[in-house]
Amino acid sequence: MSLLQFPHESPMEVTIPIAGEISLKIADRINQQVDYATSGLPKGFLLVSRGLELAEEAVGFGFPVLKRGLQTLFPGRIELAVEQHDSIRSVQVVFTLNLAEKIHRAGIGSIKSGWVYAIKNSLAALIRAISPLRGLLTAASSGLRRLFRWETTFEDAGIQATIKMIHTIHGNTGNIKVEVDLTDLPAGITEVVVMNEQGAHAFDHYLDSSGISLQGDEIGCWDEVTAEDACFSSASQQVAFRLRQVEGARLYRGRELEGSRLAWAGFGYSFPPSIKKFVYELGIERQA
């Protein structure tokens, strides 16, 4: 049975029940109603629990990002196609990555100065690398943004790449198999990252199979997971999502909650572009 194709000009939204009052939602249009920088990006799959969308600033499950040296490419548009057999849905998502993150100042536009981006990238790297200084460095970064009235925007990168993902979703079990096709990447890509994240207010508890259990700010913003199995859970919504290690990739966890600017929690798989087919499984479960 082939995938049902839909013309890109027709807006499409897919909602898939998982268990109880949990569902997954993805759309090929951009919803800019929420005041986060990522609201200007198309999203991966978003969790909905009891009618409440849990994404906040997060980019959802199965969201690709490409590194090209110091430049990072983000999706600017997606195309969807769906097929269904009983409780199993197969959703093909084709991402066009053609946007780069920029710093914007009202009345001036995008900042062109290289030193501004050098400071931004250096602070971001230090925040991730030196956990004891994260609070201080995050405050410094936020202070600079307020002082210079900087905002994050996403603009044309001058280059584009296409990544196709097929999500096989088992509604009865909450298991999702994700197959990532990276055969059409352009030259010069240095790293591939596949994000799987939801909102930080709901998902404030991390635990893994090694026995680590972290709450809130203890989780950190970007630390490598060494356990075989790890998950984020939400006591308020009684739902969790879980990932496992995949050979050839490094698995990272993170959570950031900073005013109205940052509100995400989840995982990222990082791997080299030499891996042309990447497959992983995501589990979603209702908790008592």
Domain of residue 68, CATH code: 2.70.98.70
User: Is residue 158 within 8 Å of residue 225, measured between CB atoms?
Assistant: no
Nearest-angstrom CA–CA distance, 172 and 217: 33
Tell me the pTM.
0.87
Does residue 183 form part of some domain?
Answer: yes
* 67 domain-assigned: yes
Task: Record the tokens describing residue 238, joined without a space.
Answer: 């009684």
Q: Which two tokens stand for residue 224?
A: 């490598």
Q: What is the pLDDT of residue 6?
A: 42
Q: At what angle do helices 114-129 and 134-148 cross, to 10 degrees?
A: 160
Q: Is residue 121 part of a domain?
A: no
Domain count across the chain: 1
157 within some domain: no
Residue 213 in any domain: the answer is yes
CA distance readout (Å), 261 to 145, 258, 264, 266 = 11, 6, 10, 16
Phi, psi of 249 (to 5 degrees): -125, 160
Q: Which two tokens stand for residue 175?
A: 């298991």
Do the domain assignments include residue 251? yes
In a domain, 184, yes or no: yes
Q: Which amino acid is at 66?
A: L
d(CA 199, CA 60): 9
User: What is the Cα–Cα distance from 135 to 146, expressed in whole angstroms?
Assistant: 17
Domain that holds residue 82: 4-101+162-286
Does 56 map to a domain?
A: yes
Residues in the chain predicted with pLDDT less than 70, given as ranges, are: 1-10, 31-34, 103-151
First-last CA distance in the chain: 37
